[in-house]
Structure 1
């Protein structure tokens, strides 16, 4: 083919590559959750541990929304998944560890920062394992305690005592030294439980679009009313129950002879099939 000047023209059409973008709404919610974690760290550095705990709990609420919003609006993306993991690492890994260290663990010297580091590193390991095993884990269960629940255990305890008016160094029902060791044990428990194989219910099989009996709405209203009686106490107790439920489910499955692992099949390295029986 030739143009008017007699020069050859390539008949193949030029294909313009479409520029890739990101979805605003779900990533905006993820950034808001990240800000909650960052705010919590800043408040802990300023000695406002009640606000630090509130920042982590706000990040938890926002973290539960971004994935659902992405699915409802059909705006899921690999970028959003990576962004969510990085946000979780800050809000539920780094922030709770630093808050616990600033609040009490620093008085234990090396034992304190060891506990904080164990929690932080376990959060990283748990998030990495979750990303790798997304397609192989039964979606009804989490493999190990989810990082938002672990963060709620650590910061919820601090929120509870701060709301009771207990300041750093003061003695309550327990001496401050005893409370410090309770914080040490709770931080280690939350961190190590994140990397166990105990199954924790994920609530992912609940269908928000599905119609429910009227009594379910009444129960939700009652639950909100109970939480408002004293939010720090009720929420902390709820997360203590959830944070120990996985071991109960694990023991029940073993007692019944059921397979205790929530891993169905795994092709990822290292080989994990024989480790979760």
Structure 2
């Protein structure tokens, strides 16, 4: 008996391996933004490079959602997106930061940039292999777009306040290493994937969104850098709270499993002897 409502397996395999224009168009635009950031950094136009990295973040967030909404997910799109992320959020931020601030540190400068670049590559490889294993509510390690936002945000804020890269090179070095190590850590960061965009929300939520856009537009460099800096720290705060909770739980479990002290045993033995010598005591 045939089932007309079921899609044949060859057609499903073709869809999974197909190439679709719309989502890959956004992925290509994100790749171009990352490449543009590298070119602008080589021409000492660091503010344009930082803005291009933020634009790549927006485009990278759209391609996957568009693919899911239009049912155009494919293995090609997933692999292409990972390669685009490596350029836009791995190589581009590392080179922009190196050209702006780390170049004057010599070996330490390019080592810090390489730690970030390698961390982004390892982060993307681990994400692709563990995509069906980890809890979708959390990211294992700092997401590469958020790490790129830390780098680009610092460059943008520094330039906007009149600082040169040489003046902030030690802070830039510490932030670059922090971002690279955070990407390969086991610290969990909230992913936001449990938010249902199709569900109705109270009117106050729309007001909050309007205020958020107004806040970002008031001073984009500082607000964006501050938001992603808070997000990067939130994972470590949650990790510390979980560690403290586990420690208290283990201490409580150890306290309940301790054997009775010798004094309690002697007291129990004495009370038992008194009860046996008293004929009126209850059995």
**What TM-score range do you get, normalising by the shorter chain?**
0.7 to 0.9
Which residues of structure 1 form unaligned runs of 5+?
A: 1-17, 170-175, 259-277
Q: 2:37 aligns with which of 36, 40, 53?
A: 40
Structure 1 residue 167 displacement after superposition: 3.6
User: TM-score if structure 1 supplies the norm length?
Assistant: 0.82
Q: Which has the higher contact order (CA 8 A, sep 6+)?
A: 1
1:93 aligns with 2:90: yes
1:104 aligns with 2:91: no
Deviations 1:47-71 (A, max 9, x none): 0100000000000001111111000
Count of paired positions:
235
* Alpha-carbon separation, structure 2, partners of 1:104 and 1:243: 21
2:192 — aligned with what?
Answer: 203
Q: 1:238 aligns with which of 221, 227, 250?
A: 227
1:28 aligns with 2:17: no
Q: Secondary structure at the match of 1:200?
A: strand
Structure 1 residue 228 displacement after superposition: 1.2
* Alpha-carbon separation, structure 1, partners of 2:117 and 2:41: 16
Q: Show the 5 A alignment for 1:60-75.
A: 60-75=57-72
Structure 1 residue 161 displacement after superposition: 1.0
1:184 aligns with 2:181: no
* Alpha-carbon separation, structure 1, partners of 2:18 and 2:243: 47
1:268 — aligned with what?
Answer: none
Q: Show the 5 A alignment for 1:69-148.
A: 69-148=66-145
User: TM-score if structure 2 supplies the norm length?
Assistant: 0.80
2:207 — aligned with what?
Answer: 218
Tell me, yes or no, if the aligned pair for 2:18 and 2:76 is still in contact at 8 Å. Answer: no
2:149 — aligned with what?
Answer: 152
Which structure's residues are more often helix, by fraction? Answer: 2
Structure 1 residue 238 displacement after superposition: 0.4
